[in-house]
Structure 1
Amino acid sequence: MTHKAACLAVLGTGSDVGKSIVATALCRIFANRGLRVAPFKAQNMSNNSGVTPEGAEMGRAQIVQAEAARTAPHCDMNPVLLKPVSDLGSQVVLNGSAWMDASSQSYYRNKDFLFAESRAALDRLRGAYDVIILEGAGSCAEVNLMANDIVNLRMAAYAEAPVVLVADIDRGGVFAQIVGTLACIAPEQQARIGGFVVNRFRGDLSLFRPGIDWIEQYTGKRVFGVLPWFRHFRIEAEDAVVIESPRPFQPTEAAEPAIAVIRLPHISNFTDFEPLTQLDGCRLVYLEQPQALSAFCAVILPGTKATCADLQWLADSGWRGHLLDYAAGGGHLLGICGGYQMLGTWVRDPDGIEGAPGATAGLGLLPVETVLKAPKTTTLTDFTWDGIAGRGYEIHMGRTQPPEACSLMTVQARNRQTCADRDGCVAADGRIMGTYMHGLFDTPAITRRWLAGIGLTRIEVDRLHGPAARDQAYEHLAAHALAHLDIEALTALLPTSLRERLR
């Protein structure tokens, strides 16, 4: 008989309740117990994406979970990725490649096909692993969407996966979250839910004990545990909701120097800056409301899924003037991917990749212009900067050719194929620079080089940085989950043959 991995689904009572965290913890716990583990999310909606060793694009959250599971990421782990470009439309990445730009209505017309593709991807994973940790999306009880659901209870049923339902006590109404979710789904779907995890608890856990008892008595299902809020380690966030509506910030509010990231409306891959948040003696802040920038050591324009629209937003909001004043006053500006495109003179979109064909004026701070055109570049990239070797990844539709005299980096390989290309651009005085390289700060020596360039020579960049720091965080997360969840009760949801291997 063909091998078929067991599946366990982690679904939620809503968005950002902690599904990704619980799934990541289970990936590391089961991997530490000797199982071959893979994550799976049939459909992800996020502008945080990454590149697999094969050069395919997938959601960053499943790359994080693959790292936690100590396995190479593969697009089968996230066969459908929606990258929003507006409130009503998204680019659809299917099996690792850009497939179509779809409105909500056109996307739903393709749901049967996408569900079939997702099932096929899951079947391939089940042939290569011992256990698959499925993650849901948003609430699993959206009654208006369930008929076309490909990622929550419908996929769990296909996988014959028991469900762990995650609820967030920090946002309030945790009892209503749990009971309301059960009330909104069919009896056979209720039966699939094995129990609950209550996430983001603060305070004295003994005070919540009566609440646990009530949930178990009312629903007849287990509470597998209550996860306290953690601050002693960080796991990359999946959604930009964690950086929504940041308040204005003045560096004088902090004892240490500060670096600003402009929180663009269509920001993507903000996990690029996670290593900078770990630095002692330096603070990274996100800014959305326009403000003077002169006191910041550096300002970063991040990636975006809609360069032209966000360029217009910079102009309409007043940010453009502040950025130009900052540059004229001697400030240090770094643009990554879409942010790099914004620093140039023009972004041209002759084929209407991002909307109506046309051209949008850039900030004019670098002597480059960008033409948006297919196909999309998705590569794992080896590069050197000032003789320092690094590895990053590229995800972009634009083509930007810098003058050779002011290019920033030498590209040595893309997707394991050697080359001798150039990437990025740097102004003559070295203060303004841009690059397509995501993951720039994962390499400690690269981070040191950039910090030195903005005058922060005394900031120590530990060797435990980037991937090494993430791996340590997965261990901390696994220990945190083991301390507060009944893992034995969770594993009892799995087949007997697999439980015996976990003893």
Structure 2
Amino acid sequence: MNQIIINNSSPTKKRARCLAVLGTGSDVGKSIVVTALCRMFSNRGIKVAPFKAQNMSNNSGITPEGLEMGRAQIVQAEASRIPPHVDMNPVLLKPTGETGSQIVLLGTAVENSTAFEYHTRKKSLFEKACGSLDRLRDDFEFVILEGAGSCAEVNLMPNDIVNLSMAEYADAPVILVGDIHRGGIFAQLVGTLECIEERRRKQIAGFIINRFRGDLRLFEDGKKWIENRTGKQVLGVLPWYNHIMIDAEDSVVIEAPGHVDFKSDSLPAVAVIRLPHISNFTDFDPLSRIKNIRLNYIQTPCDLSGFKAVIIPGSKNTRYDLKWLEETGWSDKITAYADSGGHVIGICGGYQMLGNFVHDPYGLEGTPGTSKGLFLLPIETTLKAPKVTTLTRFSWDEICGTGYEIHMGQTVNESNEYLFEVSDRNNVLCRDFDGCISQNKKIMGTYMHGIFDSPLIAKKWLESIGIENPMVSKLSGFAAKDKEYDLLAEHFEKYIDVDAVLKIAEGKYL
């Protein structure tokens, strides 16, 4: 196929400069580097915005306009101290299976598509993404682009809309990020250069090496070798850190849940079932920060009696994951735990699973049909469009909280026992209800994502499952995240040649 090219003639109005952060592979730290740069530039009084032409993730969020976009770009917008906007992530792919995804275009779900069908639409989607980037460049002083996966996938480069082609359209110098923790950092960086054309190599201005463990002085020879071999500067080596908590872009960070050993860990534990199509797992990041509990992602069926509570998270394919629960034996484990008096809460797709049936008459998640639920709440769900995407304010027994909703399910609560009272959606006042709670108050379900970002809501839920004096931070929502962005920028500036990065950003790297 012919390479995607769009005319990038200079408009009359001077547009913002751009810098691209691309990677040697997936999960090497591109999102974190962009987040750090956004806060670093913002700290210098620069009006900066993030941009990722195409994102593939089931970890999404809602803009102030009630539109959907990737969570990583929401995080980066927050680090930039600006409201998130769908132009920052014009194309979002939400995987529904091995070869298919829901396409969210400029914040709205437009269709489900196979990988091949999506491939044939790349040119038109690239044009949409370029339009978004142009609008950002008109409104901001600087735009930092993020790539996806590896920028050197030779079979995909001719139709790439997010890596080197987008950097070329933006006339953006490239910082290439590699992950030393996974090994082979020299092959990662040099191999990436070897896999791309000479003109593409010239786009790359320097390297950042991420996730180093040990004494940085021991890597000085390695740094010099890379610079001598490539003629490009190593801008910095970022040590591994554990003191900063930033929302992750996708579920790669929870791909290998470990075994839970209750004998060696005396802290009360909460389990999150690691569903095949888990979505919005960052719902539980606030729980992971609480020092006197332990949050565990578990994938292999096990005895749940040692846990204070079990969480069934959101899913991008509720019926598939229900079938997985049944086939793996999880359904029996969860229902036995609930029957013995255990606490269970389902979020979004997990809420739907707690009910009696999930109907998909229009085949939104695959073949049309009906799936049996876990029969733990008296609810029944039908999957149908349009997709609900709202920022929502709610209360739980007069304790107020904020969250967001992203779902295509319409759920009927046969008991009229609701969990939350809703006061407004997308800044429109209403009097509505959400979720369901069992008579014994131990089984709960809600469509609301992000409920644990509200400290008082998190504290109430933890106390309801029997955890005494949970050490919930008084910082909530953006205030808690803002502190982490400052810590990230501080860490970044300590180990990166900031002056060199700024020169690259100004186009002075050649």
Fold match by TM threshold 0.5: yes
Task: For residue 250 of structure 1, report the CA deviation from its aligned partner.
Answer: 3.5
Separation (CA, whole Å) in 2 of partners of 1:42 and 1:249: 39
> Are residues 1:184 and 2:195 paired?
yes
Residue pairs, 1:1-400, within 5 angstroms = 1-400=12-411
Task: For residue 496 of structure 1, report the CA deviation from its aligned partner.
Answer: 7.3
Q: Write the letter of the residue equivalent to 2:124.
A: F
Equivalent pair of 1:251/1:296 in contact (CA under 8 Å) = no
Match in the other structure for 1:477: 488
Separation (CA, whole Å) in 2 of partners of 1:493 and 1:404: 61
Match in the other structure for 2:9: none
Equivalent pair of 1:411/1:422 in contact (CA under 8 Å) = yes
Equivalent pair of 2:378/2:415 in contact (CA under 8 Å) = no
* Equivalent position SS for 2:385: strand
Separation (CA, whole Å) in 1 of partners of 2:88 and 2:497: 26
Task: For residue 283 of structure 1, report the CA deviation from its aligned partner.
Answer: 0.5
Separation (CA, whole Å) in 2 of partners of 1:195 and 1:21: 17
Q: Write the letter of the residue equivalent to 1:422.
A: F
- TM-score when scaled to structure 2? 0.96
Task: For residue 465 of structure 1, report the CA deviation from its aligned partner.
Answer: 3.8
Q: Deviations over 1:264-288 (max 9, x none)?
A: 0000000000000000110000000
CA RMSD, 1 decimal:
1.2
* Equivalent position SS for 2:187: helix
Separation (CA, whole Å) in 1 of partners of 2:477 and 2:343: 23
* Equivalent position SS for 1:492: helix
Equivalent pair of 2:277/2:315 in contact (CA under 8 Å) = yes
Separation (CA, whole Å) in 1 of partners of 2:411 and 2:388: 12
Q: Write the letter of the residue equivalent to 1:292.
A: D
Task: For residue 495 of structure 1, report the CA deviation from its aligned partner.
Answer: 2.8
Task: For residue 234 of structure 1, report the CA deviation from its aligned partner.
Answer: 1.4
Q: Which runs of 5+ in 1 are unaligned?
A: none
> Are residues 1:454 and 2:434 paired?
no
Equivalent pair of 1:402/1:423 in contact (CA under 8 Å) = no
Equivalent pair of 1:247/1:289 in contact (CA under 8 Å) = no
- TM-score when scaled to structure 1? 0.98
Q: Which runs of 5+ in 2 are unaligned?
A: 1-11
Separation (CA, whole Å) in 2 of partners of 1:199 and 1:470: 22
Alignment equivalent of 1:429, drawn from 433, 440, 446 = 440
Task: For residue 458 of structure 1, report the CA deviation from its aligned partner.
Answer: 1.4
Q: Write the letter of the residue equivalent to 2:317.
A: A
Q: How many residues align?
A: 498
Task: For residue 399 of structure 1, report the CA deviation from its aligned partner.
Answer: 0.4
Match in the other structure for 1:406: 417
Equivalent pair of 1:366/1:432 in contact (CA under 8 Å) = yes
Q: Write the letter of the residue equivalent to 2:363.
A: G
Q: Write the letter of the residue equivalent to 1:238.
A: E
Task: For residue 251 of structure 1, report the CA deviation from its aligned partner.
Answer: 3.0
Equivalent pair of 1:424/1:434 in contact (CA under 8 Å) = yes
Equivalent pair of 1:163/1:195 in contact (CA under 8 Å) = yes
Equivalent pair of 2:52/2:145 in contact (CA under 8 Å) = yes
Alignment equivalent of 2:427, drawn from 385, 401, 416 = 416
Task: For residue 377 of structure 1, report the CA deviation from its aligned partner.
Answer: 0.4
Separation (CA, whole Å) in 1 of partners of 2:359 and 2:438: 21
Separation (CA, whole Å) in 2 of partners of 1:476 and 1:245: 27
Equivalent pair of 1:303/1:339 in contact (CA under 8 Å) = yes
Task: For residue 493 of structure 1, report the CA deviation from its aligned partner.
Answer: 1.2
